Structure 1
Amino acid sequence: MTKVLVVLTNTTRYQHTDEPTGLWLGEAAEFVDAMQQANIAVDYVSPKGGFVPLDPRSMKYTNPAIMKIYEDHDFQERALTASLRPEQVNPAEYDAIYFTGGHGVMWDFPDNQALQAIALAIYQHQGYVTSVCHGVAGLLNIKDQAGQYLIAGKKITGFTHAEEILAGKQKVVPFLNKTVANKHNAHFVQKRAYKSFAVQDGQLITGQNPFSVKALTDLLVPQLKH
């Protein structure tokens, strides 16, 4: 059975503020909807396991497909209430890993060595390492056994500086995705702010922003079906 591991955040607020954040609902729900349509199974993991908060702003950007997944008992239970802990995951079971976004991931994805090990194991077994929007934070610091960054020399994308400015969050985020990506010798590419855009470079597939999930799944699903 083809299966994808979906990675979610446990972060409930922007650090050092009282403003809530969390998973950007559509970035998980639209992806899961695409996997269901392609008859591809999914599991859910988060850095701590268990509860996954939603970024309240993401509820303004729903559609019938997103709401269908959100209201599904399986998603509510396995994704939002009882997500797996990294130590419960066997990477050999998965053909791809997908790092979702929402600003929360910028605090609990980048330095999580357990998630990095899972992603690297999937990659080394010819699986796909994918992300959308801020989810690229989960890719930025992955290193192989030789100590080389997985993204070095690869084209990737993610939420941009311009999009942070438009979102009003450039002063509260701990880093900018492009800055770290370039520091780690990736080729960060982007389109106009909030325009759908995804890029594939070998086994890495990344989407720029919340509106790029379909562009990403349009690249990923044929690879998994193949």
Structure 2
Amino acid sequence: MKKVLIIETNVTRYQGTTEPTGLWLGEAAEFVAEMQKVEIEVDFVSPKGGFVPLDPRSMKYTDESILEIYEDPDFIHRGLTNTLRPDQVNPTDYAAIYYTGGHGVMWDFPKDLTIQNLATAIYDNGGYLVSVCHGVAGLLNIKDKSGNYLIEGKNITGFTTAEEILAGKKTVVPFLNQVEVEKRGGHFKKKRFYHEYAIKDGRILTGQNPFSVRAVAKLLIDELI
């Protein structure tokens, strides 16, 4: 069975501020936990490779399952301190690419052509594009062979404007997910804030918020097994 490539951010702070951000821990850890249950291997990559910062707020939302992954030496090494660079990745090795969230991704995911090229190659090879929460930012600028946005006409979800307001981040984020998805012709779907919600449209699977990680992981597992 092919592996799943997990994408994480290198951004350490909300740009223009001294407030730290980074990867939302549960969005990597819970996904890894679900993959481990069915023995699907994962690799970790970030735009720059190497160190991945954790959003300190995410540490308030842990449970035993998340902490077990967080304390795993393999996750610490490959998922947090020594992630691969895009040029070290062969896209043909992967059946899916999964974009984690945390506000940091809003600054490095949308503009990173190397990650977009990996995603395009995996998708064109019959693979799946998967995201949760702010990870939807990684899907925004991927285009098909005709130069059209891949999410055009697709049902997509991600962290909502209401959730940004409740998180107190609406005024510091560089864009709003719903606005950007709709600019590219996507159909943004959502449920009540901070409730589990994951949807599938073809080979694009998306989850709304941090409480949707396991739901979107299970959608992918259903496709791969």
**Shorter-chain-normalised TM-score: which range?**
over 0.9
Structure-2 residue corresponding to 1:44: 44
Amino acid aligned to 1:44? F
Displacement after TM superposition at 1:140 (Å): 0.7
- Aligned residue in 1 for 2:132: 132
How much does 1:145 deviate?
2.1
TM-score between the two structures when normalised by the length of structure 2: 0.99
The structural deviation recorded for 1:38 is 0.8
Q: Does 1:69 align with 2:69?
A: yes
Partner of 1:15: 15
Residue aligning to 1:144: 144
Residue 89 of structure 1 corresponds to: 89
Once residues 219 and 4 of structure 1 are traced to their aligned partners in structure 2, the CA distance between those partners, rounded to angstroms, is 13
Q: How far did residue 144 of structure 1 move?
A: 1.5
Q: Which moved more, 1:143-152 or 1:165-174?
A: 143-152
Q: Which amino acid aligns with 2:152?
A: A
**What residue number does 2:207 align with?**
207
Q: How far does residue 146 in structure 1 lie from its aligned partner after superposition?
A: 1.2
Match of 2:173 in 1: 173
Give SS of 2:28's match: helix
Moved over 6 A (4+): none
Q: What is the alpha-carbon root mean square deviation over aligned residues?
A: 0.5
Indicate the percent of aligned positions where both proteins have the same amino acid. Answer: 65
CA-CA distance at 1:98 after TM superposition: 0.2
Structure 2 unpaired stretches of 5+: none
Which letter does structure 2 place at the counterpart of 1:11?
A: V
User: What residue is the counterpart of 1:32 in the other structure?
Assistant: 32
| 2:109 alignment counterpart | 109
Structure 1 unaligned spans of 5+: none
Q: Deviations over 1:181-208 (max 9, x none)?
A: 0000000000000000000000000000
**TM-score (ref. length: structure 1):** 0.99
Give secondary structure in 1 for the equivalent of 2:51: coil
